[in-house]
Amino acid sequence: MEAKNMICIVCPLGCKLKVTKNDASPTGYDVEGNTCFRGAEYGIKEMTNPTRALTTTVTIYGAAMKRLPVRTSGTIPKHLLKQAMEVINKVEVKAPIQTGQVIIKNILNTGVDIIASRNIYQDSFSLGINLLVINNLKEVEYAYWRWGSCF
Amino acid sequence: MHYDIVVIGGGPAGLAAAIEARKNGAKNILVIERDRELGGILQQCIHNGFGLHTFKEELTGPEYAERFIKELITMGIEYKLDTMVIEISGNKAITAMNSTEGILHIQAKAIILAMGCRERTRGAVRIPGTRPAGVLTAGTAQRFVNIEGYMIGKRVVILGSGDIGLIMARRLTLEGADVLAVAELMPYSGGLTRNIVQCVEDFDIPLYLSHTVVSIEGNDRVKAVTIAQVDKNLKPIKGTEKRFECDTLLLSVGLIPENELTKSAGIELDNVTGGPIVNEAMETSVEGIFACGNVVHVHDLVDWVTEESKRAGRSAAKYIAGKTERNCKTIKVKGINGVRYVVPHQIRLDNVERTVELMMRVDNVYKDIKLVIKSGGEVIKEVKRSHAAPGEMENIKLDLSKFTPGDSDEIYIEVVKEEA
């Protein structure tokens, strides 16, 4: 019988799962050791199509930071992680960038996007021009914390 | 300058404390941060998994920080960046400095300490060998790679399997480096289970438990690192050495609460946690000075930092409003028989609304145990755990509404093995 021991990583509890192939079960597998339904889903997925979220950075120009943190909008197949990195490492972006902004659409045809995971404002020179068009004081203040000492 | 509450540190702890203090009626609040932006270490923790408890979703570090920063700014809470606090005194006078305003003297009615922690370095773990470039702490490497955009090496050995070490093993692998080994002194990993699975096992990086670095070679740059197995007394065993040719050694060998300022204010510290002794309100031994987050004890999940810091913020607001009950029965909380420490250390019963949250760490890996809370020989509460490890903090909510201290003014928490 095909069986695999694994540790569930859905949440920090880290339940120890035993997933066994069982054609009689509606899902095709029996999962033991899980304490919630998400654990059972995870166990079956690890046997059929293991997926992972990917977090990395891309080069950003015109900002105080040299790298923009990005992540996958969902999870992608585990075996595609390295290939995805190759695609992401070719990308360079310019500030400003908003949290959630799509950096790469539909990476490797997975249906998952690579999105920015933080706001990054432009450097002080460009920011001066930006301020002319920002009327909302809150946004200026928001820019201030991203920009701090450069004002 | 006068403020009602000054928060020292603009990381997750400081942000949550300041926001919660404002929500509880405190008006005149200042957050002081030494970095160029708010958010603290979260800004370099670009991996996901933050906020599962607080927001019920998986966020990256910068995303988690951004939610709090936005809230802080929307509330109009004042903050100073690039500003370093150099001293605080017991009467809540703060000396700080920055390059635009010079030396600042700030008087506060209440202070919240949220300075976080520091990484232990090569000196702290006394690794023998030469002293070449290429020996970095994992957090420093994380900042270089994730924010400054420098790759720190091509062939890497990591000592310590704490969370940052494991996360950097994955990060460097993804960025094209060869991570040759992760060595851990203890027979178990100090990191979260999900990090062992996702960061090390997923990439087939060998994890050597009960191993340590016995030698570093190289003059200008690291050339090789030798690890060896250790015995029960953590001494290297001859003949078990493994040599790795590499250019970088990362250290993830623990964190120490950063308490220089705490000491300057004459606040009492706990030898086990390395942080101040606090009560149920997260108040230190000096009245009106509160502490929260990693400066008190090192957490493994930021969600618990947020939780704890909210309590500190609420308490500080209550304190400046003069609503804290000071002259009441105080009980001490102690960890014994397998419980290394418990925070808070003291509970003033009249200040507890209903429940108090106890955070603790066990001293070893245990299976099928009960955490038993006792007072004067009587069991108050038992919590079952099928698995407990030093790397995973335990949280217990204790209902004290029906608790009468009796003769004893101490509560003990211990590990009891469950009979099969």
**Residue A25: pLDDT above 90?**
no
Write out chain A residues lying below 8 Å of B62, CB-based: 69, 99, 117-118
Residues B253-264, mean pLDDT to the nearest whole number: 93
Residues B335-363, mean pLDDT to the nearest whole number: 88
**Of A43-47, A82-86, B252-256, B263-267, the least confident:** A43-47
For the segment B44-78, what is each residue's pLDDT rounded down to a tens digit? 999 988 988 888 888 999 999 999 999 999 999 99
Q: Could you list the beta-strand ranges (E) of B61-159.
A: 78-80, 84-88, 93-98, 102-113, 117-119, 135-137, 155-159
- Residue A97 is given by DSSP the state B
Contact B192 A149 (CB under 8 A): no
Which class in CATH covers the domain with range A49-120? alpha beta
For the segment B159-198, what is each residue's pLDDT rounded down to a tens digit? 999 889 999 999 999 999 999 999 999 998 878 777 888 8
Return contacts of B374-378, CB within 8 angstroms, 24+ apart: B374/B411, B374/B412, B374/B413, B374/B414, B375/B331, B375/B403, B375/B405, B375/B406, B375/B408, B375/B410, B375/B411, B375/B412, B376/B405, B376/B406, B376/B407, B376/B408, B376/B410, B377/B408, B378/B406
Q: Give the ipTM of the model, two decimals please.
A: 0.86
Rounded to the nearest angstrom, the minimum Cα separation between A86 and chain B is 9
Contact A56 B46 (CB under 8 A): yes
Grade residue A144 by pLDDT with cuts at 50, 70 and 90: low
**Of A81-95, B378-392, B396-410, the least confident:** B396-410
Q: Quick one: pLDDT at residue B402?
A: 72
Contact B63 A117 (CB under 8 A): yes
Domains of chain B with CATH codes: 1-119+254-324 (3.50.50.60), 121-253 (3.50.50.60), 327-420 (2.60.40)
Q: For chain A, which residues make up each domain, given as ranges?
A: 3-48, 49-120, 123-151
Q: Which residue of A has its CA nearest to B150?
A: A66
Beta bridge partners of A92: A59
Write out chain B residues lying below 8 Å of A16, CB-based: 387
> What distance in Å separates the CA atoms of residue A20 and residue B6, rounded to the nearest whole number?
56
For the segment B123-157, what is each residue's pLDDT rounded down to a tens digit? 888 899 899 999 999 999 999 999 999 999 999 99
* pTM as predicted: 0.87
Structure tokens at B302: 């930021």
Grade residue A37 by pLDDT with cuts at 50, 70 and 90: confident
Structure tokens at B6: 């000054």
Residues B82-94, mean pLDDT to the nearest whole number: 94
Write out chain A residues lying below 8 Å of B146, CB-based: 57, 67, 69
Interface of A with B in 62-121 (CB under 8 A): 64-67, 69, 71, 78, 81-82, 85, 99, 117-119
**Of B40-49, B77-86, B397-406, the least confident:** B397-406
Rounded to the nearest angstrom, the minimum Cα separation between B407 and chain A is 38
Contact A138 B79 (CB under 8 A): no
